[in-house]
Amino acid sequence: MRFGWRRAAYLAVALGVLAGAAMPLSHAPAPGLFARPGVLAATLATAALYGAAAAVAGWLSVAATFAGVLLGCAATLVLLHDPTIAGTAASGFWLLVVANWGAAWLGVAGLAAIRTHERAISSAIDLAIPLLFGAFVFYLWEVAVRGFGVPTVLVPAPSLIAVRFFGSLWMLWQDFFQTFVLGVLIGYAIGCSAGFLVAVVAHRYTFLGRGLLPIGNFVSALPIVGIAPIMVMWFGFDWPSKAAVVVVITFFPMLVNTLAGLDAAGHIERDLMRSYGAGHRQTLQKLHLPAAMPFIFNALKINSTLAFIGAIVAEFFGTPTLGIGFRISIEAGRMALDMVWAEIALAAIVGMAFYGLVALAERATTFWHPSFRT
Amino acid sequence: MTSSALAPAAPVQSRLHLPLARIAPVTIIVIALMALWYVAAVLMNLNLVRQAFERDEIHYTTGQLIAGTLEAERPILPAPHQILATFADDVFDWPVTSPRSLVFHSWVTLSATFLGFVLGATFGIVLAVLIVHARTLQKSLLPWIICSQMVPILAIAPIVIVVLGSIGLRGLLPKALISAYLCFFPVTIGVVKGLNSPDPIQRDLMRTWSASPAQIFWKLRWPSAVPFLFTSLKVSITISLIGAIVAELPTGAQAGIGARLLAGSYYGQTIQIWAALFAASLLAVGLIGIVDVVEHWVARLMGGHK
């Protein structure tokens, strides 16, 4: 049996867990690990599992590692419920956390190294790795905030944010409706379709296209969010001003990308259409628009993030007392950071879902494109 | 911001000999847009000016009315020449240290932009190098990096500033950090793409020469990533500027283009807002120009064809 670095690292984390168990848990007088039979058993089992992971290889090793990480993390979280440890955690506690961290890293590395020809399994692994990584980041955040006793006004623990999130679902729903459904979606629909229509017209008249493409490229590079205060003056505090900002922000990327996409069809295909005697409308419908789809979706994806940013920034310049951006700035001023983070979580979830939906629509409509046929 | 937008642009044939066929459409459309702007300015300010005339019981002709719409003090839509006049006044007629001077505000924003850009680009490059060389990192981190950009990051801006402010960091750095957070992403994605762009044949060749990983990196991967890097840098320097401007909003900063926008919106100074926007646009163009110049310089140093 070869004694590689992998085994050495596993043995090191197992020893780290044992050493952590023996060292003091807290700077404050607190009962040691030997006074807590449940946690002690879990910790010893963690060390045993890491040791077992060193002895075996492949799937078994990964499974043993993650079972150990789960137990080890649970043990540290239980320890944090003790007020004599939370905020004053000492070397023993942190050694446990760091050992779990190392083990989780080894587990993820082991998972990434697994090669399989089964497609479903490899895509499940590709999904599991970032999820495990993300879950562990949240664990580290929770442990660091509570172990060091970081004040809530600086950074609240994830558990606190989750409690606040589910405790104010109604308020979050109202903010979501105001900012996303009214501001972002309406503006996004108008801006994207306007950009698309102008591009189609500009494609019909070459002169217009040649003039608009450089201008559109130029304007796309400008800090357009700056028009937010003007739109708030023109359209008032309520959602129309937010939608107007989103319209202007999303218009130019859509225009530029659609114009580029409509030009993407090759000469051979165009000649073929001409030899079929196809008119402009037919060529547009059967050749240029399908060829432009990847570009259009590119713009839709860029715009999905830009639109959200635009709507939130516009809320900094004035809102009715509603909306994600408004709530964030108000609650940050009141130092209610758990509410702020709940809103950020909402914005993150909505932003990812929005992007994900556009990406799904792209896969459904442009499945023929080379980038999806790997 | 997605992958296809980050591919290096095709080399422009010649920058000096722009044919008339390319200049003419742009010029005519710009002139048409300006004309449209003047018409819109007249139409949008019409009521405002008419009310002002009627309030003062001045008898007016149509000509005076139209002239009035283009010279209103707080117009709904200022005419381009008003914006330019205010811009010139704010830039040239005040000493650069005065808070009335746009140069002063531009410098405040620009310094945050630069610092953020340097931090973000460095972080982005380091991240890309790590991702290309560690399979675990690529699998675990890359999806999260992409996710981080679907989140409306600017929403975090006030928090970052509040949190950093309460641990004693104020002024330039918090704004720069927001810029950095916004602009590292295009760099990471572009450089990862660029570092992976050499063909397997070329990598095999390096291996037959028994090149070390460091040699493969410096002699093959890095040179082929440079064009991708610069395309990304152009995207990210404008994002960095946007980040710096927006970061000035929620904090009620005293100086900077963002603060200027905010003050203009509080006091209804429309022309001031437009002048600040004009300054921001000039900054964006200048920043891209700088990256462009550096790109050409580096390309020549590396013996490129550009």
Judged against a pLDDT cut of 80, whether residue B19 lies above it is answered with no
Judged against a pLDDT cut of 50, whether residue B284 lies above it is answered with yes
Higher pLDDT, B135 or A166: A166
Confidence tier at B10 by pLDDT (50, 70, 90) = very low
Rounded-to-integer distance, Cα A165 and Cα A24, Å = 35
User: Can you tell me which residue has the tokens 């900094």?
Assistant: A316
Site from A66, A108, A222 to mutate, B interface, most B CB atoms within 10 angstroms: A222
Q: Tens of pLDDT along A198-210?
A: 999 988 888 888 8
Distant-in-sequence, close-in-space partners of B222: CB < 8 Å, separation ≥ 6: B195
**Helices B80-92 and B102-133 meet at what angle, rounded to 10?**
90
The domain limits of chain B are 13-77, 102-301
Minimum Cα–Cα distance from A125: chain B residue: B139
Considering chain A, what percentage of its residues have pLDDT values greater than 90? 8
In chain A, what residues touch B152 (CB-CB under 8 Å)?
305, 308-309, 312, 347-348, 351
What is the phi/psi pair of residue A146, to 5°? -80, -35
Average pLDDT, stretch A3-16?
80
The tokens for A283 are: 């060529």
Sign of CA dihedral A132, A134, A139, A144: positive
Confidence tier at A154 by pLDDT (50, 70, 90) = confident
- Burial class of residue A224, CB neighbours in 10 A (0-12, 13-18, 19+): buried
Rounded-to-integer distance, Cα A255 and Cα A223, Å = 17
**What string of H, E and C letters represents the secondary structure of chain B?**
CCHHHHCCCCCCCCCCCCCHHHHHHHHHHHHHHHHHHHHHHHHHHHHHHHHHHHHCCCCCCHHHHHHHHCCCCCCCCCCHHHHHHHHHHHHHCCCCCCCCCHHHHHHHHHHHHHHHHHHHHHHHHHHHHHHHHCHHHHHHHHHHHHHHHHCCHHHHHHHHHHHHHHCCCCCHHHHHHHHHHHHHHHHHHHHHHHHCCCCHHHHHHHHHCCCCHHHHHHHHHHHHHHHHHHHHHHHHHHHHHHHHHHHCCCCCCCCCHHHHHHHHHHCCCHHHHHHHHHHHHHHHHHHHHHHHHHHHHHHHHCCCCC
Average pLDDT, stretch A65-70?
85
Average pLDDT, stretch A165-177?
89
Residue type, A341: W
Judged against a pLDDT cut of 60, whether residue A3 lies above it is answered with no
Rounded-to-integer distance, Cα B108 and Cα B258, Å = 10
Confidence tier at B37 by pLDDT (50, 70, 90) = confident
**Res A212: pLDDT:** 84
Judged against a pLDDT cut of 50, whether residue B12 lies above it is answered with no
Domain B102-301 falls in which CATH fold? MetI-like fold (1.10.3720)
The whole-angstrom distance between A191's CA and the closest CA on chain B is: 18
Q: What is the CA radius of gyration of chain B?
A: 24
Judged against a pLDDT cut of 90, whether residue A247 lies above it is answered with yes
The whole-angstrom distance between B34's CA and the closest CA on chain A is: 13
Average pLDDT, stretch B275-297?
88
Kindly report the CA angle at A334 between A329 and A335, in degrees rounded to 5? 95
Q: What count of CB pairs under 8 Å joins A to B?
A: 162
Cβ–Cβ gap A328/B166 under 8 Å: no
Candidate from A297-301, B12-16, B64-68, B264-268 with smallest mean pLDDT:
B12-16
Confidence tier at B158 by pLDDT (50, 70, 90) = low
Q: Tens of pLDDT along A26-54?
A: 777 777 777 778 888 888 888 888 888 87
**Res B155: pLDDT:** 63
Confidence tier at A187 by pLDDT (50, 70, 90) = very high
In chain B, what residues touch A215 (CB-CB under 8 Å)?
26, 29-30, 33
DSSP letter string over A171-185?
Answer: HHHHHHIIIIIIIII
Judged against a pLDDT cut of 60, whether residue B207 lies above it is answered with yes
- Which among B28, B151, B238 has the least Cβ separation from residue A211? B28
Cβ–Cβ gap B140/A108 under 8 Å: yes
Minimum Cα–Cα distance from A154: chain B residue: B163
Site from A141, A172, A295, A305 to mutate, B interface, most B CB atoms within 10 angstroms: A305
Sign of CA dihedral A116, A121, A126, A131: negative
Rounded-to-integer distance, Cα B97 and Cα B182, Å = 29
In chain A, what residues touch B76 (CB-CB under 8 Å)?
233-234
Rounded-to-integer distance, Cα B265 and Cα B242, Å = 18
The tokens for A27 are: 């700077």
**Res B16: pLDDT:** 47
**Helices A58-80 and A119-148 meet at what angle, rounded to 10?**
20
Q: What is the mean pLDDT of chain A?
A: 84
Average pLDDT, stretch A284-305?
86
Q: What is the CA radius of gyration of chain A?
A: 28
Judged against a pLDDT cut of 60, whether residue B6 lies above it is answered with no
User: Can you tell me which residue has the tokens 């999820």?
Assistant: A131
Confidence tier at A246 by pLDDT (50, 70, 90) = very high
User: Can you tell me which residue has the tokens 């296209």?
Assistant: A209
Task: Judge contact between B279 and B84, C-beta under 8 A.
Answer: no
User: Can you tell me which residue has the tokens 């050409």?
Assistant: B296
Look up the pTM and report it: 0.79
Residue A256's closest CA among B291, B15, B239, B5?
B5
Considering chain A, what percentage of its residues have pLDDT values greater than 70? 98
**Res B5: pLDDT:** 45
Higher pLDDT, A292 or B138: A292
Rounded-to-integer distance, Cα B259 and Cα B105, Å = 8
Task: Judge contact between B143 and A112, C-beta under 8 A.
Answer: no
**Res A191: pLDDT:** 94
The whole-angstrom distance between A53's CA and the closest CA on chain B is: 18
**Res B13: pLDDT:** 44
**Res B64: pLDDT:** 77
**Res A1: pLDDT:** 41
Residue B186's closest CA among A350, A260, A302?
A302
**Res B251: pLDDT:** 62
Judged against a pLDDT cut of 80, whether residue B211 lies above it is answered with yes
Confidence tier at B122 by pLDDT (50, 70, 90) = very high
Judged against a pLDDT cut of 50, whether residue A214 lies above it is answered with yes
